[in-house]
């Protein structure tokens, strides 16, 4: 697929500097791009490459001032990074829209209902009473359990497994190897020291415009629903336990674990390898630094915490600053102790 600067400018509302007929058919990093590719400049760190790039078209900020002549056609926009992201999404949509039909071998139960323009790749399995919306793309090895509902425009990458009764909204992307609706970790201790499994009879509800990375696991609720609200973005290798709620537009980085029945607010940001205990709440807009261990509720919105156990960010920085000075403080304490000891000896000798 080939697009001109004119056509791209219409999509991202850009002002053209250079040849409006310049065309591109792929994307490239500004330092590596070749003729026929489109690139962007958002980080000033890469400014030098703008003057040497072979890219045919480059998206830059409206406010950017050139210091040298540029060979590429420029598209000036309010925010180069977000405009480039819009184009990448459009490009991906065009690629996936070409996929349709049902490949063999695959299994689709007689009671399953599939919308128009659905793509079902080979080795997929669609169980009884499944409802799949318009323009859904299921890549090889996807398993859809009984009574699952999947909304319009969803993409399930290879090897995604969705257990029975779960609900997936519209425009959801789930990456390879992720499991939705596996049993929550529920076991009751018995008198003889063994553990008896507690049946997990709830489900998982994923609302619209959620994206979930590869090899994440979102457990079904014991009763009720584990809930991922609209616009949430989850990275790879995340564990979400039973009955957890994750708020709108919350983002969670890789290797985070969230224990059962915890409720995370809207627009929360959680760094990689964070651990969050069960049955607590995280206030809207909170930020949890990477490798933090959150052991109690964060009740004040917009809080920033760090450490394990996690506590208020600026207090943690002060503590870290003090801890770096501990060797010096130890030396001074020893000097003071020696001085005091000398004074005491002088007094006793008088």
Contacting residues for 344 by C-beta, under 8 A, at least 6 apart: none
Quick one: 271 and 183 in the same domain?
yes
Per-residue tokens: 96: 């996936």
Residue 178 counted as domain residue: yes
Whose CA is closest to 90, among 24, 43, 134, 150?
24
d(CA 31, CA 50): 8
The answer to whether 39 and 49 are in contact (CB under 8 A) is no
Q: Structurally, how many domains does the chain consist of?
A: 3
Residue 240 counted as domain residue: yes
Quick one: 299 and 166 in the same domain?
yes
The answer to whether 337 and 329 are in contact (CB under 8 A) is no
Tell me 133's DSSP state: -
Per-residue tokens: 310: 């996690």
Whose CA is closest to 162, among 131, 198, 119?
131
d(CA 303, CA 287): 6
Residue 132 counted as domain residue: no
Residue 109 counted as domain residue: no
Residue 252 counted as domain residue: yes
Quick one: 215 and 266 in the same domain?
yes
Quick one: 344 and 290 in the same domain?
no
Quick one: 178 and 257 in the same domain?
yes
Quick one: 164 and 253 in the same domain?
yes
CATH number of domain containing 48 = 3.40.1390.10
d(CA 288, CA 274): 8
Quick one: 172 and 73 in the same domain?
no
Residue 106 counted as domain residue: no
The answer to whether 281 and 262 are in contact (CB under 8 A) is yes
d(CA 205, CA 82): 29
The answer to whether 181 and 166 are in contact (CB under 8 A) is yes
Quick one: 185 and 284 in the same domain?
yes
d(CA 226, CA 329): 50
Residue 120 counted as domain residue: no
Whose CA is closest to 41, among 28, 59, 26?
59
Quick one: 288 and 322 in the same domain?
no
Rounded mean pLDDT for each run of 10 residues along the chain, 350 residues in total:
92 96 94 96 94 96 94 96 92 79 96 96 97 97 98 97 98 98 95 96 98 98 97 98 98 98 98 97 97 95 89 74 83 88 79
* 3-state secondary structure at position 26: strand
Quick one: 301 and 327 in the same domain?
no
Residue 274 counted as domain residue: yes
Quick one: 253 and 323 in the same domain?
no
DSSP letters of 32-83?
T--TTEEEEE-SGGGHHHHTT---SEEEEETT---SS--SSEEEEES-HHHH
Instruction: Describe the strand order of the beta sheet including 15-17 as a list of residue ranges.
Output: 15-17, 73-77, 57-61, 37-41, 26-27
Quick one: 171 and 297 in the same domain?
yes
CATH number of domain containing 230 = 2.160.10.10
Whose CA is closest to 97, among 150, 135, 154, 139?
135
Domain residues for 337?
A: 318-349
pLDDT at residue 308 in the model: 81
Write down which residue in 63, 80, 97 finishes a domain.
Answer: 80
Active site residues: 242
Peptide bond preceding 35 in cis form (omega within 30 of 0)? no
pLDDT at residue 350 in the model: 64
């Amino acid at each position: 697929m080939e697009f001109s600067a004119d056509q791209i400018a219409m999509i991202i509302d850009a002002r053209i500097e250079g040849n409006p007929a310049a065309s591109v058919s792929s994307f490239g990093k500004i330092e590596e791009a070749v003729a026929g590719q489109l690139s962007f400049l958002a980080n000033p760190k890469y400014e030098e490459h703008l003057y040497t790039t072979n890219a045919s078209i480059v998206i830059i900020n409206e406010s950017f001032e050139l210091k040298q002549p540029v060979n590429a056609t420029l598209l000036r926009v309010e925010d180069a990074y977000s405009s480039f992201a819009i184009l990448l999404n459009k490009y991906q949509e065009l690629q996936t829209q070409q996929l349709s039909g049902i490949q063999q071998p695959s299994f689709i139960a007689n009671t399953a209902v599939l919308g128009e323009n659905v793509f079902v790749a080979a080795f997929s399995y669609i169980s009884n009473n499944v409802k799949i919306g318009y323009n859904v793309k299921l890549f090889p090895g996807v398993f859809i359990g009984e009574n699952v509902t999947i909304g319009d425009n969803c993409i399930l990458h290879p090897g995604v497994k969705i257990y029975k009764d779960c609900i997936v909204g519209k425009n959801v992307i789930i990456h390879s190897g992720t499991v939705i609706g596996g049993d929550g970790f529920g076991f009751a201790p018995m008198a003889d020291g063994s553990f008896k499994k507690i049946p997990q009879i709830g489900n998982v509800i994923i609302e619209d415009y959620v994206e979930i990375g590869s090899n994440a696991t979102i457990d079904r609720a014991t009763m009720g629903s584990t809930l991922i609200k609209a616009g949430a973005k989850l990275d790879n290798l995340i564990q979400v336990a039973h009955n957890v709620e994750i708020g709108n537009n919350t983002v969670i980085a890789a290797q985070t674990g969230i224990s059962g029945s915890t409720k995370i607010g809207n627009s929360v940001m959680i760094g990689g390898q964070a651990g969050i205990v069960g049955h607590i709440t995280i206030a809207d807009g909170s930020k949890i630094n990477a490798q933090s261990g959150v052991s109690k509720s964060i009740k004040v919105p917009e809080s920033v915490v760090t450490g394990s156990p996690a506590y208020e960010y600026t207090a943690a920085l002060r503590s870290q600053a003090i801890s770096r000075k501990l060797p010096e403080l130890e030396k001074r304490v020893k000097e003071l102790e020696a001085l005091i000891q000398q004074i005491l000896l002088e007094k006793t000798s008088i």
